[in-house]
A and B are shown apart, each in its own frame.
Chain A
């Protein structure tokens, strides 16, 4: 199973909306996410910065949250998405 990270901000409303969708996906499938907060944890922020090349082209050339990264393939998905899109992307990573 691939290692998928969700980079999020504690006060980002889009990230807040994604958490329940991830809970649901983790219940329904074997996919697991490591959720890392980036505005209150500099270590997590530096980790997100280290994936800039993978994230920026999908994120308006910036480091935006929420962002989902497959740390092995460096595939990334950016922004608030609906459950089906999240599921499709996550299952593709498996």
Chain B
């Protein structure tokens, strides 16, 4: 099924998915999403606040992302620093925060799977492994 764009008619939240959320997570209105074009979605998102994310902002964001999850940002600070350098180099050179330990294929859908954080829960280096890590090692199972 193809993902499409949806806009909350109350607060203008944008959702990208195969179906709209029943409840708008921002304004809490039920059944508030209407389908819009990709161009409309880009215009709305492009006119929003400056969302450029500095390295330390991203580090803090992924830290918050792990709260309540069974994984954490890898305690190996050197490894994390090297990976953050790669992630930001990739964003500068290739447009997205691509994983430095995999190569983009130039297929849009495939390459979205490489944007950090990726869905590493399914990686064979993590799934069912006691000391599992995502492929690059940025995230590790919480001890």
| Chain A residues at the B interface, C-beta cutoff of 8 Å | 7, 9-16, 38-40, 45, 48-49, 52, 60, 62-65
Whether B53 sits at the interface, judged by CB under 8 Å, is: no
- The answer to whether A40 and B85 touch across the interface, beta carbons within 8 angstroms, is no
Chain B neighbourhood of A63, CB < 8 A: 102-105
Chain B neighbourhood of A9, CB < 8 A: 86, 100-101, 103
Chain A neighbourhood of B79, CB < 8 A: 13
Chain A neighbourhood of B28, CB < 8 A: none
In the assembled complex, the Cα of A38 lies from the Cα of B105 at a distance in Å of 12
Contact A60 to B101, CB < 8 A, known contacts A12-B86, A13-B83 = no
* Total contacting residues, chain B, CB less than 8 A: 26
In the assembled complex, the Cα of A14 lies from the Cα of B135 at a distance in Å of 9
Count CB-based A-B contacts (< 8 Å): 67
Could you list 13 A-B pairs, sorted by A, with CB under 8 Å? A9-B101, A10-B86, A11-B87, A13-B83, A14-B137, A16-B82, A39-B103, A48-B103, A52-B105, A60-B135, A63-B105, A64-B135, A65-B103
| B85, B105, B106 pick with most chain A CB within 10 angstroms | B105
- The answer to whether A11 and B89 touch across the interface, beta carbons within 8 angstroms, is yes
In the assembled complex, the Cα of A94 lies from the Cα of B93 at a distance in Å of 37
| CB-CB contacts below 8 Å: B67-96 with A | 78-79, 82-83, 85-87, 89-90, 93-94
B59 CB → nearest A CB, Å: 15
